[in-house]
Each structure stands twice: as C-alpha cells, then as structure tokens.
Structure 1
Amino acid sequence: MQGIAITDRSGRRILSTHFANSLDAALAIDAAVAHSKPVVWVHSQSRHPHDSDDSDDDGDDDDDDHRPHHSRTRTAPRGLAVCQIERAGLRYIAPVDHDIDPLIPLTFLTELYETLKTYIGGPVTEGSLKDHFDVVLALLHEMVAGGRPQLSQASQLKELVVPPDSQFFKVALNAATAAGLNIPSQTTANALVASPLPWRRQGIRYTSNEIYFDLTETLSFTLDAAGKPLSCSIAGALSCRSRLSGMPDLALTFTDPAVLDESAAFHSCVRYGRWNKDKVVSFVPPDGSFPLLSFVHTPPSTTPALALALLPLSLSTSVTLGPSGGAFRLALTSRAPPSRPLTRLELRLPLARGAHAVMATATGGALATDERGRSVGGGGAGRWEVVEGEDEGGEGTREGERRQVLVWRVDQLCSTDRPAVLEGQYYASPDARKPPFLTLTFDSPASGFSGLRINTLKVLNEQYSVYKGVKTRGRAEIEVRTG
C-alpha cells in the first residue's frame, strides 16, 4: 500500500499517512469519489521506483534481437488499484501499486475502522478524528510499516499506543518519573516486545480469570414464489474476550467441527496444523477482545424440506397485480420456542409504480396480556407503514417519482403465538409491473443456524480455574421472489 487516506464523501482529505507520490494520492482519492466500487483501477503516468530503466540495457545479450519488443518491463501498465471502504460518511482509501489480493487492503481498512471505534469510544467522525489527531497518526504508524499491514488488533495496539482515556495516566506517570519516584522499569509496551509471542505481553495478572465467546451467524436465503429454496449460506464469526493471567494455552473443541471445514479463517494465534490434524482450535489468546475465527457454511442441497428446516419460521406470500392495483397477503409462522423468540422482524414489500391509497390489516401474532399475565386479546401482529425508498424492484420510475415500499414490523414471534398476517390492497398505475421480490429480516438473539456449538475448553500451562461464557446469536436475511 502506498499510504492510507481518510476523507469525507466529497474527497476532502481529513487525515492521511505520507505518500511517496502526491500525484498518485490525488488520483486515488479522485477515483474513489467518482466510483462506489471497493476496488478501482487508475492509470498513472508517474514513475515508480520499481519500474526498470530501459536506458541501462547494454545491448550485449545475443538474445536481444529475439526478444519481443514489448517486453514486460517496457509495457507493464503503470497504475494503481484503489481500495476503499465507506463507514459513517467517511472514506478509507488505500492505493496499491503492486499485484496483491485486494482482500488484504480491504480487510486492513475494515480493521482500521474497528480499531478507531475502540480507541475513540464512539462514532468515528471528522470531528472525533481531529480531536484525537495525534493518537490516530500514532496508530497508523504502528499498524502500517513499509506499506505492509502490521498490527491490527486493538488489544495489542493498546500496549504501544496509549488510548485517549488513558492520556491522564501517561502524564501522571511521566511526572512521577521526573520527580524521582520508584516506577517499574518495564512498561507494558516493553513487556509486549520482550514476550515470545507478538500478540501477548508477559506478566498479565487478573484476580478472576474469565473468557467469553460470542458466536454471531448471518443466514442468507433466497426463495422462489412457491417457497422453494434457491440458495442458502451462513456466514459466522466467533469473537473472544480474554481476561486470563499468565500464558494460558487453550484447546477449544466443537460439537460439529465439520461446519468449519468449508472455509474457516483463524486469528494468527491459532495453530493451524493442530486444527488440520485434530479439529481442535489450539491457541494462546491475546489479552482483551479479538476475533478468533470466521467462516462461511453452505448447507448441503439435499431436499427443499431439509434446507427450509434451517429457518426458524415459515413465510407464506401472495402478491398479485391487476389493471387498477395490487393485493397482498403475507403470513409469518414462528417455530422458535418461547424461551428463544424471534425479534425485530421486518418485511419490506416494494409496491408497484404509482402506488397510492394503501389499505392493510395486521392480525394474529402474540396475544396481549395484562399486568397479571392474563390474555386480553390481540395486538402482537406488529405495525406497518409506507415509506419512500429506492427502486428496489428493478423497474424504472418516471422523473420525480420514487418507489413506495410497504414496511411491516413485528417486535417478536414464537411458536406458541398465532401466525402474524398482513393483508391489504392498493391502487397503482395501469402500466405498472409487479415488483420481482420482497425481503424479510429478523434476529435470533439466543441461537444460531449452523448448529456449531462449543463443546469443551481446556486450559494448559496454568493451574487456575477459568469461568467460560458462551453467547450465540443470529440474524436472517431472506429474499422471496414474487414471480
């Protein structure tokens, strides 16, 4: 990477590292603003140090006459691959002038944003970056060396760059040293450098030893109009928060490790050879919070019924469109137990062009109860509204006309509740076409979808007992084709 630049949406630079070529930096920022793609190719006329100089050829090689005139060094296109992400209205830009996998700079930029959120302790905005300008530059200095990503975990960086909320302690420590007070000679940064492991310093001590695992899974489903699954995938991430003393060596096992066989990515602290051999995640954890592993799982496509069993609810849809308008009937039936209900259900139905006079009724859902827990009737089928949205249905709109979207929200739904039903109708333009799909999202705050479960956790090299906490949560994103 030639450097890192943080700009606003218009391309105005807020903060950046040093760029060897200011022209390339300007070209990269202009290209990022002009294109919304995460990777953009930009031709550059500037000369890079690694370009060869044809004038240095002596011409003594007998094979010169047989070599193609357009050799690689003479015709290799000079340019930049501009990698960028956008978060909270700011652009994070990294131009690359070498042939590398663009996932490397894109992943680094994402980790940079997460690190800044941890350090700032709130939203990463232009104002918060300027307020912590010196801290952010120090972070970039530690995270990038010679154009290559180095440290990217906040738990490690805090040993080298003092967070803003610890600046007062740093000032007090300097004052105590100047006054001649007895201060331990080994700082936490020196302890990290002296440690045999680059991600964990020596001498860590806690009064109670605890470790927490958070498993988050996102289920992506696509169904046809008849409810038959077309595609399905599960993206998961297991993060860890470690508060363990000394140098613990952990061995983590799962009840069904085959879920991770397809495409698992591990933190650098994990011994990959042990995983390949025994399906055991063996590692010495960094201190604090860090992402332990991530994976993408594609369930086997055997039968539609088996694939649909992954969904903790069933969805029934009927969307029609006639000469004067459309009608719809949407029904949600939950299979989640009452102890783990589905929450924050949101169904978005793009309406046909020119939709107006929408009328709908929501029925069913959870029964409302009084203070003593007695049923007092309905009220759990949620609420609906019509909002303006983008052209989600893929149909072109007339100038000045925006797509109308029906949004139906249900707070929670479990297997003991009645099916939540929303049905209604609306008027539309005579030449309107039926939108091709609708979307449904919901949270499963107490369970995932892949069946991955932590089985055992063994602690080696340390004699203390460890409290282990595990939390699993999921989120589903379903797209249903309407025709």
Structure 2
Amino acid sequence: MIHSLFVINHLGDIFLEKHWKSVISRSVCDYFFEAREKAVDPENVPPVLQTPHHYLISIYRGKLFFLSVIQTEVPPLFVIEFLHRVADTFQDYFGECSESVISDNVVIVYELLEEMLDNGFPLATESNVLKEMIRPPNILRSVVNTLTGGSNVGETLPQGQLSNIPWRRAGVKYTNNEAYFDVTEEIDAIVDKSGTTVSAEIQGVIEACVKLSGMPDLTMSFMNPRLLDDVSFHPCVRFRRWESERVLSFIPPDGNFTLMTYHISSQNLVAIPVYVKQSISFFEAGSCGRLDITIGPKQTMGKTVEDLKVTVHMPKAVLNANLTASQGNYTYDFTTKLLVWDIGKLNPQKLPNLRGSLSMQTGVPNPEENPSLNIDLKIQQLAISGLKVSRLDMYGETYKPFKGVKYVTKAGKFQVRT
C-alpha cells in the first residue's frame, strides 16, 4: 500500500526517508513542493496529490510534513490515519515530534517504521505493543547498548500482538490504580461586526490516561449523549453498544490514548463564550487610523476565561500602532503586520479595552486587505457544548480505582470580521 515515506521540515528539506519496497527518487516530492508554494498556510496544502505515476498523501504535524508515496489507488483516509499514528508514536516515544528529536533518535525511528509497516501494510501501530518490541530511549539504556553492542529491539513477540486485544499489553500491575479523562473542546467560529454568529462548530476530543492493573473493562456514560452525532473512536471501543445504548464500553490501552473525537456543527448548540466590540477605521485624508477593541464574557456558565489573547492581522499599509491597553500588554510587529494583545484572565467586572491610533502610509488600504481579528482563550472545568460524563464503571477487577474527569474549552479558529 504505502511505498515510501518522506519527512519534510517547514523549510522544505527532506531530512528522513524510508522505503518499504524499491527506492523512489526524491524528485517525486517536487509535485508536493509546488503545491506547498501555492498554499498560503501549511495547513492548506492538499492532503492528496496525483502525479503521473504516484499518489502523494500527506499530513502536517508539529511543523513537519509526513509525505507518503502510493503507487495504486487506496482509501486516502486509511493512509492519513496511519501517518497520524506514526506522528503520535514519535510523540509518545520522544516527548515531542520535531526535526531535532527525530534526527537525534534516527535509529529508533527506523526500527519503529520497520515494525509499524510490513511490506507497505500497517502491522503494529499501538504504542503498548511497540514499546514491548522496541524499548523507549533513555540514557542508561543507551550507555549499556554502546558498551555491550546491544539494541533496543526485544527478543520475544509481545503477547498483545497475538491476542484479540492488541492495544493492551498483558500482565500490567500498578500500586495506585487510576483513570483520568480530559474532555477538551475547541470552538471554530466566525462572528460578523455586529456580533451575529456567521458559522460555528465544536471540535471535541476525550483524552485518557489509564493506569489500571490486570484487564479492566470500563463503561462511560454521558448525561446528554445525543449531542454527539459525528464521532470517531479508538479501536478499543465497542461500536455496536454505542449505537444501541449510547454508552462507551471498552478495554482501555495502558497509559495515554485518545478515546474519542467528536464534532458538533449545529449552531444552536454552539455557545460563543465571549463577545467583541471593535472598531478599526482608516481615514481617507492623512496617514492614520483608529482602533478600539473591547471584549467581555458572554456564555461562560460562571467560569473564568483564561489565557485570553487577541491577534489582529493588519493591512500592509499600517506602519505602527500607538495604543493603550486597560489590561494586559500588546506588541506590534511591523514586519509581519501582526498586532498581539495578551489579556490573560478576563475580569467580568472591568472589561479590557485596547484603543489608540495607527500610523500608516498615505492613502486608504486596499479593501481586500481588511484586518482579520482572531481570538485565543481557555476556560477550565467547562465543556461549552454541555457534554457531561455521568459515570464511569469498571468490571472484571475487584479493586477500586481513582477516577477523574476534567473539562477544558479552547478557541480554535475563532475569527471576528471587522
């Protein structure tokens, strides 16, 4: 299925390549580089590109492109999912997925890729199984391997690879048994200058950290599961029970994993947590303009808005900004034309305001270069969709684990039209 894999940094340099069949020349990536130059942002590069003899399927993670070369037609989402598994495995093994970390652990990287793909087809993609076959790097193991000539590759095949539960390793034992779940939601929204929501949707994910002994069987119930109409599950989830009862039933992997992701696009279910009053104007005569932005809480269920940040992409004609912030501080980069107002925690009793003058070249900016205002925020202990976990039960084991659920709301692509 997958013939070759190229890992490309944000500068366009291929710093790692892996071939499972015959070697394909790097020149095949030229089609990808052409598409990258045409795209404004790296995220806008088409994930599937057709060339005269190959298909190029790629993802963008951590300022890196993972580009796979396919010789025959295959389901693109199948390949995209595998590439995300590769990036997740690097993240789990090395703590981050970056060019420097991959280059420093290139031997383990090649060992992982060799086990994850067999003759071009996915074989072992679960972190639990891979860690038993290829031990994660540490300083002591590196010193011992250097002195003894050993390797990180295990001598026996993991038991999980031979069972019908390949995502969980056998014989797990913990002194403290605990299971924690993070429900994180990101709001993607466009709001016009009058405050009316043009479009809004929620991207949600439930991340799990499960450290339980034995072979526990968990069930998770929600207070309002009908909110979730577009979901994607980890392979451990029993899909038939979800369809019939709207209950998550699963034997969890050991450690950290993504239990499920979901999408809510109905605007009547998406509550915008803040409102923005803004006025950005440019005078026809002279070389100046005015800016006035006020932001306040709207629907936060009494929770505090934290890490609040407003970014404004100014037109090229704006040279500088002379502003006064009632809360936080601002910076303006005249090279990138980016104004960043870092507010921090939102005080509902005293709404933050940013106002002042803009210095610019003579003449009104091009109307096609209207400022774009984006918001970044975080709200702890709140799922803006209203999703709530009602209970978590465990079967198959006799001990009582520690359990906890945390809710976080973040701003995804949150834009206010000026």
The bucket for the TM-score relative to the shorter chain is 0.7 to 0.9
Instruction: Give SS of 2:4's match.
Output: coil
Q: Given the superposition, is the C-alpha separation of residues 189 and 226 from structure 1 closer, same or farther in structure 2, using an over 3 Å criterion?
A: same
The amino acid that maps onto 2:141 is F
The aligned residue for residue 446 of structure 1 is 381
Instruction: Give SS of 1:252's match.
Output: strand
Measured against aligned partners, the alpha-carbon deviations of 1:419-475 in whole angstroms (never above 9, x if no partner) come to 111111223331324515321221223322111111111111111111112111121
CA contact (8 A) 2:129 2:158 kept: no
1:344 aligned to 2:307? yes
CA contact (8 A) 1:9 1:33 kept: no
The aligned residue for residue 62 of structure 1 is none
The aligned residue for residue 286 of structure 1 is 253
Distance 2:47 2:127 in 1: 26
Task: Find 1:431's aligned residue among 364, 376, 382.
Answer: 364
Measured against aligned partners, the alpha-carbon deviations of 1:224-244 in whole angstroms (never above 9, x if no partner) come to 111100000000111111111
Task: Find 2:232's aligned residue among 265, 274, 280.
Answer: 265
CA contact (8 A) 2:133 2:155 kept: no
1:464 aligned to 2:395? no
The aligned residue for residue 181 of structure 1 is none
Measured against aligned partners, the alpha-carbon deviations of 1:304-339 in whole angstroms (never above 9, x if no partner) come to xx85xx122221112222213321211111257798
Identity of aligned residues (%): 27
Q: Which runs of 5+ in 1 are unaligned?
A: 45-78, 176-185, 364-380, 391-403
Q: Given the superposition, is the C-alpha separation of residues 156 and 238 from structure 1 closer, same or farther in structure 2, using an over 3 Å criterion?
A: farther
The aligned residue for residue 60 of structure 1 is none
Distance 2:238 2:76 in 1: 25
The amino acid that maps onto 2:209 is R
Measured against aligned partners, the alpha-carbon deviations of 1:273-327 in whole angstroms (never above 9, x if no partner) come to 00000000000001111110001111344xxxx85xx122221112222213321
Measured against aligned partners, the alpha-carbon deviations of 1:155-178 in whole angstroms (never above 9, x if no partner) come to 332122111128729969x99xxx
Distance 1:240 1:83 in 2: 29
The aligned residue for residue 205 of structure 1 is 173
Distance 1:151 1:96 in 2: 20
The aligned residue for residue 340 of structure 2 is 407
1:84 aligned to 2:58? yes
Measured against aligned partners, the alpha-carbon deviations of 1:393-420 in whole angstroms (never above 9, x if no partner) come to xxxxxxxxxxx232211011143x3111
Task: Find 2:137's aligned residue among 161, 164, 177.
Answer: 164
CA contact (8 A) 1:336 1:342 kept: no
Q: Given the superposition, is the C-alpha separation of residues 40 and 257 from structure 1 closer, same or farther in structure 2, using an over 3 Å criterion?
A: closer
1:136 aligned to 2:115? no
The amino acid that maps onto 2:386 is G
The amino acid that maps onto 2:47 is V
Measured against aligned partners, the alpha-carbon deviations of 1:5-46 in whole angstroms (never above 9, x if no partner) come to 2244565543332253434x42432222332224353434xx
1:35 aligned to 2:35? yes
Q: Trace 1:305-384 onto structure 2 (pairs within 5 A).
A: 310-323=271-284, 324=286, 325-335=288-298, 340-356=303-319, 358-363=321-326, 381-384=327-330
Task: Find 2:333's aligned residue among 373, 387, 404.
Answer: 387
Instruction: Give SS of 1:22's match.
Output: coil
The amino acid that maps onto 2:290 is A
Distance 1:343 1:171 in 2: 46
Instruction: Tell me the TM-score normalised to structure 1 length.
Output: 0.75
Instruction: Tell me the TM-score normalised to structure 2 length.
Output: 0.86
Q: Given the superposition, is the C-alpha separation of residues 21 and 479 from structure 1 closer, same or farther in structure 2, using an over 3 Å criterion?
A: same
Instruction: Give SS of 2:345's match.
Output: strand
1:231 aligned to 2:164? no
Name which one, 1 or 2, has greater alpha-carbon Rg: 1
The aligned residue for residue 74 of structure 1 is none
The amino acid that maps onto 1:383 is N
The amino acid that maps onto 2:324 is T
Instruction: Give SS of 1:274's match.
Output: helix
Distance 2:217 2:227 in 1: 24
The amino acid that maps onto 1:258 is R
The aligned residue for residue 370 of structure 1 is none
Instruction: Give SS of 1:4's match.
Output: strand
Q: Which runs of 5+ in 2 are unaligned?
A: 37-44, 149-153
Count of matched residue pairs: 398
The amino acid that maps onto 2:173 is R
Distance 1:27 1:40 in 2: 17
1:124 aligned to 2:92? no
The aligned residue for residue 152 of structure 1 is 125
The aligned residue for residue 5 of structure 1 is 6
CA contact (8 A) 1:313 1:335 kept: yes
Distance 1:328 1:274 in 2: 54
The aligned residue for residue 94 of structure 1 is 68
The aligned residue for residue 366 of structure 1 is none
Q: Given the superposition, is the C-alpha separation of residues 189 and 223 from structure 1 closer, same or farther in structure 2, using an over 3 Å criterion?
A: same
